[in-house]
Structure 1
Amino acid sequence: MRAREIMSRPVVRAAPDTPVREAIALLTGHGIAALPVVDDDNQVVGLFTEADALSGVLTGAPVGPDLRVDSVMTKLVEVVGLDTDVSDIAARMPVDRLRSVPVVDDGDLVGIVSRRDLLRPLVRHDDAITSQVRSLFSDYTGHRDLWSVSVAGGLVTVCGNFSDEDERRLVTALAKTVEGVTAVELVRPAAAFGVDLEEE
């Protein structure tokens, strides 16, 4: 797998003269760990990270309106190409303490690979749905494990006992709130081997 297949884009970025306050707002507002800093030619000249932002706070530097990104950014930035193997990127991150790496094409910024991007392919879509549905059910039941959940191709199968029709409808509605769910089937435990299936 190559960087082009997992990178995030479009890239939230900053310019060297972006005020640090604005850059911090971009980091927190987009929930990201780093902003590539690019010049007028879209060339990466630095990386403004959470650590860069925090270093100013911890050293007592005033984060006033005149403090610019280029005065605190990390200047020695590792970049990768579109065809860099994902395993190479993953190997660099812990060694160099990187949380994200800009992706360039002929020097132009075209994407960014974060640790989250590297992890995403390891989780199948159905696994993500299963996790979210289980979390919803856990919240609803007060963290009691009442039903088992399996997902195949977006079809959610819930096996367990339901107190009444209202609860069946509620369980179905909860599962359907998860993005990617195509249908919900409720199965009683005795029916787990092929009988008494209820599709919603």
Structure 2
Amino acid sequence: MTVKKIVEHKGSNVITLPMGRTVNHAIEILIRHNIGALVVVDEKNKPVGIISERDILREIHNRGDAIHETPVERVMSSELIVGVLEDTLDYVRCTFTKNRIRHLPIIEGGNLVGIVSIGDVVKALIKEKDTENKYLRDFIMDKYPG
């Protein structure tokens, strides 16, 4: 299975945050949408970074009193790790593990077309294994004619 299946199921609407906004604004959006990360975009809506709950907690710990004025550019991860629609779930799972991340923006032709979380990948892998197990059980129980 590829990332494309997850994006098709989940949808390609990605909640983003324009550069220049504050960390406090990012917190408001994360809470409003019940999500764990925001892709930060430039004025042309191109991804330039990602800010996660973990990034925000670290900043609160380091500079808690200044969080209201802190620009997201100061806190976000600017070395953006991205995926493409053709990536397999196993490859993405390894990307999450190797880089210790939980959200992967999906890019096609330089444009943001989706975002996949580690939860999305785990859910898809479980569904895939459950389906495979059902067919194997049916085969063993001789439920197929022939």
TM-score class, shorter-chain normalisation, is 0.7 to 0.9
| Structure 1 portions without partners, runs of 5+ | 128-200
Whether 1:27 aligns to 2:34 is no
Please report how far the alpha carbon of residue 22 of structure 1 lies from its aligned counterpart in structure 2 after TM superposition.
1.2
- In the alignment, the residues of structure 2 paired with residue 116 and residue 12 of structure 1 have an alpha-carbon distance, to the nearest angstrom, of 17
Whether 1:54 aligns to 2:57 is yes
Match of 1:110 among 109, 113, 116: 113
Please report how far the alpha carbon of residue 122 of structure 1 lies from its aligned counterpart in structure 2 after TM superposition.
3.6
| TM-score of the aligned structures, taking structure 2 as reference length | 0.78
Please report how far the alpha carbon of residue 41 of structure 1 lies from its aligned counterpart in structure 2 after TM superposition.
2.1
Whether 1:81 aligns to 2:84 is yes
| Structure 2 portions without partners, runs of 5+ | 131-146
Please report how far the alpha carbon of residue 123 of structure 1 lies from its aligned counterpart in structure 2 after TM superposition.
4.3
Higher relative CO (Cα under 8 Å, sequence separation at least 6) belongs to 2
- In the alignment, the residues of structure 2 paired with residue 39 and residue 2 of structure 1 have an alpha-carbon distance, to the nearest angstrom, of 28
- Identity value in percent: 31
Q: Deviations over 1:149-192 (max 9, x none)?
A: xxxxxxxxxxxxxxxxxxxxxxxxxxxxxxxxxxxxxxxxxxxx
Q: Secondary structure at the match of 1:60?
A: helix
* Counterpart residue identity of residue 4, structure 1: K
Please report how far the alpha carbon of residue 29 of structure 1 lies from its aligned counterpart in structure 2 after TM superposition.
2.3
Q: Secondary structure at the match of 2:45?
A: coil
Q: How does 1:92-131 map to 2 (within 5 A)?
A: 92-124=95-127
Aligned to 1:63: 67
Aligned to 1:4: 4
- In the alignment, the residues of structure 1 paired with residue 124 and residue 49 of structure 2 have an alpha-carbon distance, to the nearest angstrom, of 28
Q: Secondary structure at the match of 1:80?
A: coil
Please report how far the alpha carbon of residue 120 of structure 1 lies from its aligned counterpart in structure 2 after TM superposition.
1.8
Do the aligned residues in 1 keep the contact of 2:51 with 2:75 (CA within 8 Å)?
Answer: yes
* Structure with more helix by fraction: 2
| TM-score of the aligned structures, taking structure 1 as reference length | 0.58
* Counterpart residue identity of residue 99, structure 1: R
Aligned to 1:186: none
Aligned to 2:19: 16
* Counterpart residue identity of residue 5, structure 1: K
Q: Secondary structure at the match of 1:57?
A: helix
Q: How does 1:161-176 map to 2 (within 5 A)?
A: none
The root-mean-square deviation of aligned C-alpha atoms, in Å, is 1.6
- In the alignment, the residues of structure 2 paired with residue 32 and residue 94 of structure 1 have an alpha-carbon distance, to the nearest angstrom, of 20
Do the aligned residues in 1 keep the contact of 2:85 with 2:108 (CA within 8 Å)?
Answer: yes
Which structure: larger Rg? Answer: 1
* Counterpart residue identity of residue 2, structure 2: R
